[in-house]
A and B are shown apart, each in its own frame.
Chain A
Amino acid sequence: MKSKRIFIILLGMLLVVAGVSLLYHLSDNFFLKPAFTTAGFFNKETPDHLVGKYTTIVDEQGSAISVMARVASSGDELYTSEGRHYRVERVQGDKAEAKFIGMDSQILAYNEFYAGLSVAVVKNLVEKSQGTFAVYHTHTDESYVPTDGSDSIPFKGGIYQVGKSMVDKLQGKNLQVNYDQTPHDPHDNNAYTRSRRTATSLMKANPSAIFDVHRDGVPDPSYYRTTIDGKNVAKIRLVVGRENPRMSANMDFAKQMMASANSLHPKVVKEIFVGKGDYNQDLMPTALLIEAGTHTNTREEAAAGVSMFSEAIPVVLGVSPSAPAAPTVKRPAGTTTGAWKALGWILGLTVVVGLGFLLISSGSLDNVKKRLSGFGREFSSFLGPRPAARKPGERGTKAVLEKLEIDKNPAANEVLKERKDDLTKD
């Protein structure tokens, strides 16, 4: 009897652990290695605040496919503008080795789709779209060394002018943009909890999409620098957070944005990086983090890049399911909506983890049945008449406890416990 009980508890814990690990592996990632070690944490040989400290991602042949001013960890993913899909397998120091997974069918389909959209259609869609957009900066000190003289100007970084160019471009198309210039200094991870407040207040205006504009911190400006339509431009990287339970929906939006922007201005979006973090993208399926060049690019280059990128925003939202205007063009075949995928994940995880916890907390299958059957009764108590005022007294605690003393039946006690849980709930 006892072994059966332990088995059930272990089964419950296993279910919870399985669910939580599934959540962790949300991005189809089954090759996990610890990205965090206590030894590395205190290792001062690689200080973390050094300008120019960055990670290079190389493919299996050893050639560099991306550089970024962050620590990559195994499981992070990279989608290039051509649709090549890589997954980071190993991280050694500032080098991350990524495996080529294959061509991403979604990006390929979107690339083809947006390339086929004629300019006339694009214009038409822009006119139809009446959504508002929101732009903010989590790291408001970010600046561009050649133009601003420093990589960081507290509270009023050059990034504001870059955000402004995006806003101007959208407003030039008669779109409504809410640009929140609230500073969130200092430049740290907690800045996201502060900018979360800005993002939620922006969401009250029901924007079609919300953009957090950053810049990267890799030292080599040529990684981002290019010439598009005769202009010097700093390319863009889109970042999608892996720790967002609804990540696949944001991923879908990012892929569409990349394909669409690149069809208007070839290669203006360099890649999509899928890394650890949430970046407040759980707030909205169309929330996106943009990195406009790096701190060694000029501010004008970065501004030109985001300006070109933002031309694609109304195009994508005009055809996306969340757009206020009815879609005039069908989505390309072969692309499944990330939203459904995310929905499946969330519901599945809720059921698995919930069941696991139910097993742990109730201790046996019989009790699980009892609790589940009691669910309806509990629900009716919300809607039903208010129970009569409690009268501790004649049949008070003492009476029940005395009863308990007499009655040596343990199953009854389990029932009592359930009932008591119902009554006291704390």
Chain B
Amino acid sequence: MGITFLLLASVVIYLGLAQRALDRMRLSDRGALVVIAAIIIGSFINIPIPFTPFNTTVNVGGALVPIGLAIYLLAMAGTGKEWSRALVGAVVTAITVYIIGSLVNSGSTVEPAGRYAVLDAIYLYPLVGGIVAYIFGKSRRAAFISATLGVLLVDIFHYVWLLRNGAPGNYNVAIGGGGAFDTIILAGIVAILLAEVIGESFERLSGGPGVEGRPPELVRGLQKPEFSAPGERNGDIRVEAESGVVSDNRRKVDLDKHEE
């Protein structure tokens, strides 16, 4: 009984968090739900990759969907700066995680997880990915890209390690094999949430994104076309805007710059 409730509650909270996190990734609410559904259903699909030295499989939900989303975000990014920030973030994440997880915390008689295994790998990836991405790009999307591609890169490092150390041919490499609970997904989601908490706190503490005194062209350029969205909603905004109450003398508009 207790266990059933526990399982239900944790799954609901996990998926709820995942949905809120994906919401921030240039996806609509509906889009985020579709991605979650794809991750869950895709968890059960492993695609074998032929002509590789080991039994290599790629899981749809645990690898293809999140990596596809990361590539989509990169493609939508537009500016070279955003590209390079996200990719550098991914490489730095991968190297850091590899050093901590594979070089420092190793040794055949260090049990069960290595000498400095203070933080489990499932938390290490998102923590490093989220922090690195925030330092490089101050961005939730970059956090997601860094964390997911970072884990993938570590998998590639490991593949090279296997080749160099003569792993047996029947070695299984299941990229994203954990499906919805794979480290790739966990890393991506926790990294976004981390960036969100850090980002929102800093933005709020610094008084929020202000537009006062900024050139109107800049403010206009930073707005999104979707801002106007459906006509009726737009009407709502106008009504509420007219009937608003004074609560702050600072003018605020959410500059997208702070969220990219």
- Contact digits for B22-46, partner A, Cβ 8 Å, 1 yes 0 no: 0111111110010000000001100
- Check A401 against B112 for contact (C-beta < 8 Å): no
Chain A's closest residue to B216 (CB) is A405
Q: State whether A241 and B120 are in contact (beta carbons under 8 Å apart), knowing that A347-B9, A391-B230 are contacts in the complex.
A: yes
Q: How many A-B residue pairs have CB under 8 A?
A: 346
Closest-by-CB residue of A relative to B101 is A190
- With a cutoff of 8 Å between Cβ atoms, the chain A residues found around residue B162 in the complex are 185
Among residues of B, the one whose C-beta sits closest to the C-beta of A423 is B229
Within the assembled complex, what's the spacing in Å between the Cα atoms of A397 and B216? Answer: 13
What 3 pairs across the A-B complex have the smallest Cβ distances?
A217-B109, A197-B177, A412-B244
The interface size bin for chain A is 35 or more
Given the known inter-chain contacts A243-B123, A395-B231, please indicate yes or no for A196 contacting B181, CB distance below 8 A: yes
CB distance A154 to B233 under 8 Å? no
Whole-angstrom CA separation of A353 from B21 in the bound complex: 15
Give me the interface of A with B, judged by CB distance under 8 Å.
1, 5-6, 9, 12-13, 16, 35-36, 41, 48-53, 68-71, 73, 138-139, 141-142, 151-152, 154-156, 182-183, 185-190, 192-194, 196-201, 204, 214-217, 239, 241, 243, 245-246, 249, 276-280, 282-283, 285, 289, 291, 295, 321-322, 337-340, 342-343, 346-347, 350, 357, 360-361, 363-364, 366, 378, 381-382, 386-388, 390-401, 403-405, 407-417, 419-421, 423-426
B44 touches A204 (CB 8 A): yes
Given known pairs A190-B121, A401-B223, A411-B246, the reply for A198 and B108 (CB within 8 Å) is: no
Q: Contacts A246-B6, A246-B10: A414 and B111 contacting too (C-beta < 8 A)?
A: no
Q: When A278-B122, A388-B230, A397-B223 are in contact, do A382 and B30 touch as well, CB less than 8 Å?
A: yes
B15 within 8 A of A: no
Listed by A's residue number, 18 A-B pairs whose Cβ atoms lie within 8 Å are A53-B109, A139-B111, A142-B108, A201-B177, A217-B111, A246-B6, A278-B122, A285-B7, A343-B6, A381-B29, A382-B33, A396-B225, A408-B251, A411-B244, A412-B243, A419-B237, A423-B226, A425-B27
Q: In the complex, are the beta carbons of B112 and A411 less than 8 A apart?
A: no
Instruction: Give me 19 other A-B pairs in contact (C-beta within 8 A), A277-B113, A395-B234 excluded.
Output: A152-B108, A152-B109, A183-B168, A198-B174, A200-B182, A214-B111, A214-B112, A277-B112, A278-B122, A339-B2, A339-B6, A343-B5, A382-B29, A395-B228, A401-B220, A412-B243, A416-B237, A423-B226, A425-B23
